[in-house]
Amino acid sequence: MNTVKTKIALAVGEFLAAKGAVVEDIAGLLETPADTKNGDLSLPCFRFSKALRMGPPMIATQLKEALEGAFSEVERIDAVSGYLNFYLSPAFYTAALERIAAAECFGSSRVGEGKTVCLDFSSPNIAKRFHVGHLGTTAIGGCLKNLYDFCGYTTVGINHLGDWGTQFGKLIVAYKKWSSAERVKERGIKELVDIYVRFSAEAEADPSLNDEARAAFTKLESLDEEYLAIWQSFKEISLKEYMRTYELLGIEFDSYNGESFYNDKMDAIVEELRAKGLLVVDDGASIVRLDDYDMPPAIILKKDGSTLYATRDITAAIWRKNNYDFHKCIYVTSAGQSLHFAQYFKVVELMGYDWAKDLVHVPYGTMSVNGEKLASRTGNVILLDDLFAEAIAKAEKIIEEKNAGLADKHATAEAVGVGAIVFGALRDGRIKDTNFVWEEALSFEGNTGPYVQYTYARAASILRKSEGEDKASYAAYAPLKEESGLVKLLSAFPDKVLTALGDHEPCVIARFALDVCAAYNLFYHNCTILKSEGEARAFRLTLTAVTKHVLGKCLDLLGMKRTEEI
C-alpha cells in the first residue's frame, strides 16, 4: 500500500508543481475511507485550494483527468465533492498478498537497530501479593517490551522492586513477635501479608509498635546481619511467588534491581545536586525548587536525612544511563504518579544531563473493583492468582464441552484463560480508567482474547488439512471483495506496529487483531477454502497462512499464547 501511495503522491506533486504550487507530505494526506464505496484511497483536495486559487471539486476533477490510467495498480479514479478517490485493481491485491507471503518477518521493522531501550514496569512491593491493580503496569510493560524487540531494539526489562522502606521495619517487628522461619516457609507470602495486617491493627491500639518499627528499620539500614538476613528471606519468598505469575504471563526481566540496590549510590547524587547549586534547605528538608516550571519542589532528603522515591529514581536513571547507554528509558506506572515523574525528569535536566529528554513516563488509568477504589486494608482487592485460576477453570469447562478429545486441555485452557485477562487489560486505551467486573473480565464472547485465539486456531486447522499439497500459481487470480478487503487490512500491519510503538499504546494491536478476525471470519464464511480449486484455492490458502502469521504476531506482541487447536 505504501508503494502505491508514494506513486500517487509523486504524480499529484508533479501536477501541483506544474501549476506553481509546492505541497509537502502529499502521501500523508491520503486517507483510507471507512466505506469502500468511496475507494481504497482518498485524497482530500481542500489543502490545495489556496495555492491553486480554485475550489476543491475543480481541483479533484482536473487531477482525475491528469492521472487517469497513470497507475497499473489503480482500476479507476473518481472525483467526488472535492475528494479524489482511487479504486485499486484486483491485480494489486494479488501482488500484495504475494509480497506479504514472501516477507521474511512481515510486520517487523529494523528502526531500532543499534539502540537500547530500558523498560521499567511491574515493580511490585515485596511481601505483598499480586492483585488486579498490578495487571496494568505488568501487561502494558510486557507488550511494549515485545513491540520494541519486534522493531529491532535491544531491550532491558527492569523490575524495580519495592524492597526498601519503613514498612520493612514493621514487617520485621511483626515477624519477630508473631511468626517464625518455619511458619513463613510453610505459608510463604501469605504469612507475610497476615503478620503485616496484624501489625497495622495492633499499632492502632499500641502506637509504641511504630517506634519499634522505626528502630528496626534503622538497624536494617545500618546493615545489621540478623535483620538483613530476615529481609533477604522476605525478598526471596516474594520473588518465588512473583515468578509463578510472570511465568504464567510469559514475561521475563533482565534486571531485578530494586530500591535497595541504590542505597550506596545516592550519597554521590545528593552531593552532585548540592555542588551544582540545585539543593536548598527548606524547613529542615533538602529540596530542588521547581516553581519556575509550575511544579511543587522535589524533596530529595527529609528532615531526618532519609531519602525518598525521587532520590532513588534520579540515582537509578543516572546509573542506567551509565550502564546501558539507553536511547530511551520508559516507566510504565499509574497516571497518579505523573507529577512525580515530571518532577524528577526536570531535576535530571537541571543537573545538566541532556538525555533527560529520553526519560519517558507511560501512564495508565486507575482500576476500581465494582466501582470502588482498590484498598488492601478493606479487602477490596482481587488477587491475580484467584483471577487466573477462575479464568482457566472456565476455559477448561468450555473446552471440555466443545472439544473433549483435545490433547493437553489444561495447557490450552491456561493459554485461553490467561489470554482473556491480558487482552481485557490491553483492549481499551491505556489511559482509560477501568472498573473491574468479574463477569466482564471472564467473558469469552465478543471482542475478547479467546475470540482472537479461536480465529488463529481456525486458520491453523485449515492449513493442517492442506499441509503438503502442491499449490497452483494465483498470479492471475482476481480476488473477491471479502478477499481483497482482508489483504488490504493485513497490509496495514507494519504501520499498526509502528503506531503502537510510537504511541506506547497496546490497544492499537489489540483492536487491529479484532479487525483481522472479523475480516477473516467474513472471508471464511463467504468464500469456500478447502473445497475450492486451482488459483482460488491457492490464493485462499495463502491468505489463510498470512492471516495466521499476522494474528500469531499480534498474540505474541500482546503477551498471549498461540493456540494451534482449541
Interval 291-349: pLDDT, tens: 999 999 999 998 888 888 999 999 999 999 999 999 999 999 999 999 999 999 999 99
pLDDT of residue 369: 64
Domains of the chain: 2-88 (3.30.1360.70), 116-372 (3.40.50.620)
CA distances from 231 to 23, 234, 235, 263, 308 (A): 65, 5, 6, 15, 19
Interior angle at CA 251, CA 247 and CA 255, nearest 5: 110
Decide the pairing of beta strands 285-288 and 280-282: antiparallel
pLDDT of residue 372: 64
Residue 469 near residue 534 (C-beta atoms within 8 A): no
Residue 103 near residue 544 (C-beta atoms within 8 A): no
> What single DSSP character describes residue 296?
P
Q: Detail the DSSP E strand segments found in 459-563.
A: none
Residue 347 near residue 314 (C-beta atoms within 8 A): yes
CA pair distance 167, 407, nearest whole angstrom: 47
Provide the pLDDT confidence category of residue 547 given band limits of 50, 70 and 90. Answer: very high
Decide if pLDDT at 123 tops 90. yes
Could you tell me which residues are beta bridge partners of residue 282? Answer: 285
Q: Cell 488477587 sits at which residue?
A: 383
Residue 362 near residue 330 (C-beta atoms within 8 A): yes
Interior angle at CA 280, CA 274 and CA 335, nearest 5: 95
Q: Cell 545538566 sits at which residue?
A: 352
Mean of per-residue pLDDT scores for the chain? 93
pTM (2 d.p.): 0.92
pLDDT of residue 333: 96
Residue 103 neighbours by CB distance under 10 Å: 13
> What single DSSP character describes residue 359?
E
pLDDT digit string (tens) for 415-463?
999 999 999 899 999 998 877 676 776 777 789 999 999 999 999 999 9
